[in-house]
Amino acid sequence: MREPDLDRSGIRMTAAIELEKLMLAIPSGPISLRAVDALVADRGVGSLFAFADAIVSRSGTLVSKHLLRAVSEPGPMVVATLHRKMRDLAQIHGATVVEGASVATAARTIGMHEFPAGKLAEAARKWSTAEIVDAINGLVELDAISKGDGERAWGPALTRWSAARIR
């Protein structure tokens, strides 16, 4: 429940329901971790922001962890989130990797705080300029698919686009 974009309404009610299930199954005595694993539903639904961060960092493990959340969100919102992250990556990549500027200088130039700029600069070293351009061009196609243009389905299209970005 640490992801910033999770819906936190109803968390208490959900927790109470899960506790009641445990108490019905094991009415007295200690409840083992094994019982909790077996009886309590997994509420790890992923995060759209973490999905975008995983794409930028090219982490296949994290992309797969958060892909279901991204597919379940409205397509235009996912594309907008990815576009912003890829745009920021392109700016940081251009300033730090291509031009050789420091992270602090790049952050000031594009109006970004230095900490997230540093994280992006670290990820930017994993990308070539052509790969960033290709990813952004792919977002244009994804945007059209997310709005119902064409015969392709949103989920498979996002999955293919994501898979092409990881190493």
CATH code for position 112:
1.20.272.10
65 confidence band (pLDDT: 50, 70, 90): confident
- Give the tens place of pLDDT for each residue, 98-127: 999 999 999 999 999 999 999 999 999 999
Q: Verify that 121 and 82 share a domain, yes or no.
A: yes
Ramachandran bin of 58, using left for φ above 0, alpha for ψ from -120 to 50, beta for the remaining angles: left
26 confidence band (pLDDT: 50, 70, 90): confident
When divided into structural domains, the chain yields a total of 2
pLDDT score recorded for residue 8: 55
Report percent pLDDT > 70 for the chain: 88
Q: Verify that 105 and 34 share a domain, yes or no.
A: no
Q: Verify that 66 and 11 share a domain, yes or no.
A: no
More confident residue, 45 or 140: 140
Q: Is 53:65 a contact under the CB 8 Å cutoff?
A: no
CA–CA gap between residue 53 and residue 86 (Å, rounded): 10
Q: Verify that 53 and 119 share a domain, yes or no.
A: yes
Q: Is 45:54 a contact under the CB 8 Å cutoff?
A: no
pLDDT score recorded for residue 10: 59
Q: Cα separations (Å) of 117 from 85, 107, 120? A: 11, 6, 5
Domain carrying residue 125:
48-165
Residue 104 three-state SS: helix
CA–CA gap between residue 63 and residue 67 (Å, rounded): 6
Q: Verify that 112 and 81 share a domain, yes or no.
A: yes
Q: Verify that 94 and 138 share a domain, yes or no.
A: yes
Average pLDDT over residues 39-52: 73
Q: Verify that 52 and 123 share a domain, yes or no.
A: yes
Q: Verify that 70 and 145 share a domain, yes or no.
A: yes
Q: Verify that 105 and 131 share a domain, yes or no.
A: yes
